[in-house]
Amino acid sequence: MNICGYYPESINEGEGLRASVFISGCKHYCQGCFSARTWNFDYGEPFDLRRQQEIIAEMADNPLLDGLTLAGGDPFFSAGEAAAFLDLARASLPDLNVWMYTGYTFEQLASRPGSDEYELLRRGQVLVDGRFEQDLRDVSLLYRGSSNQRLIRIPESLERGEIVLWERAVPIA
């Protein structure tokens, strides 16, 4: 697995101050994607154990971080490896809040218990799901690019068997 970017601090990929890891590779090929270069699974740098440990150490040393976001590309195309990274991170940061972006829908991922994709899904707190739809592009939306995309509370949605949408903790005044 490669990563095509890493931001130790970002406010763009989820609520609060987050470390953001961009996993290389995507097969959704959304028209109008702002990061089409990330579709290539070989783009970027190898996300080997050494690099993973470096990022985890940086997160552990930053008391201001609210969590980690996995984006891409699409981390669900490397689900097994991405889940292993989250397991490694949680060994040092057991309360790590994880957001994930994907072109899949929650329903597609949740319908396959036992799959690598399902196992990655259940390791997160919020999923931003759905392909980017250029015709539905809306720059006013929080943490997503098109109005078909949803911000979903993963644990509650899996427990209830229905979508529970994420809502901002503190509304913008």
Q: Would you give the distance in Å from CA 70 to the centre of its chain?
A: 3
Task: Provide the 8-state DSSP code for 163.
Answer: -
Q: Which residues of the chain have pLDDT under 50?
A: none
Domains of the chain: 2-160 (3.20.20.70)
What pLDDT score was predicted for residue 30?
86
Q: How far apart are CA 2 and CA 24, in angstroms?
A: 5
- pLDDT (0 to 100) of residue 98: 98
What is the structure's pLDDT at 173? Answer: 57
**Which parts of 39-133 fold into alpha helices (H)?**
49-60, 79-92, 106-110, 116-121
The pLDDT assigned to 108 comes to 97
Distance CA 111, CA 7 (A): 32
Question: Rounded to two decimals, what is the model's pTM?
Answer: 0.95
